[in-house]
């Protein structure tokens, strides 16, 4: 059983009180994956945001590791937000436990706890913005330099 106080440390739940998180627990599911296990397959449907409570994963596209995530990081949000097939494969690098929230449960949270939903979506947007900044920095360093005319 996950304790609401233990979830407060994760950015997805930033700003939420223990009581608010307690009300969200019924919408969450715990999943466990063995090392090498595929969590999300590129091109497949995905309707869950997952966040890591233990372990590490690699995000792989065309055989290239785009990113590695560990405790506290979320993934799968792109497909939930834009309702497209998975953009990359996510594989467990170690025994990995995640908590997932399905798209259907997100809609129920929106209906039943709109202020909690709003905070979670704002936190998710912040995390995505940080991730985008990091990828921009990486691209700027690793790509050939081009002059702007």
Which domains does the chain carry? Answer: 4-103+112-134 (2.60.120.10)
Report pLDDT digits (tens) over 98-112.
999 999 999 999 999
Sign, CA dihedral 56-59-65-68, equals negative
User: What pLDDT is recorded for position 144?
Assistant: 65
pLDDT band at 113 (very low <50, low <70, confident <90, very high): very high
Report pLDDT digits (tens) over 130-144.
988 988 888 787 766
User: What pLDDT is recorded for position 71?
Assistant: 94
Of the listed ranges 13-22, 71-80, 127-136, 139-148, the one predicted with least confidence: 139-148
Name the burial class of residue 114, with classes exposed (0-12), middle (13-18) and buried (19+) by CB atoms within 10 angstroms of its CB: exposed
User: What pLDDT is recorded for position 145?
Assistant: 63
Single out the residue of 86, 46, 95 nearest to residue 66, CA to CA. 86
């Amino acid at each position: 059983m996950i304790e609401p106080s233990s979830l407060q440390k994760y950015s997805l739940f930033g700003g939420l009180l223990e009581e608010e998180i307690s009300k969200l627990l019924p919408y969450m599911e715990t999943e466990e994956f063995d090392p090498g296990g595929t969590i999300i397959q590129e091109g497949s449907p995905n309707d869950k945001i997952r966040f890591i409570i233990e372990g590490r994963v690699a995000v792989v596209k065309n055989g290239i590791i785009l990113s590695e995530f560990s405790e506290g990081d979320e993934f799968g949000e792109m497909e939930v937000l834009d309702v497209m097939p998975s953009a990359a494969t996510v594989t467990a690098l170690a025994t990995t436990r995640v908590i997932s929230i399905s798209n259907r449960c997100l809609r129920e949270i929106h209906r039943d706890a709109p202020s909690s939903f709003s905070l979670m979506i704002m936190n998710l947007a912040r995390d995505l913005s940080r991730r985008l900044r990091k990828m921009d920095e990486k691209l700027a360093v690793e790509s050939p330099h081009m002059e702007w005319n």
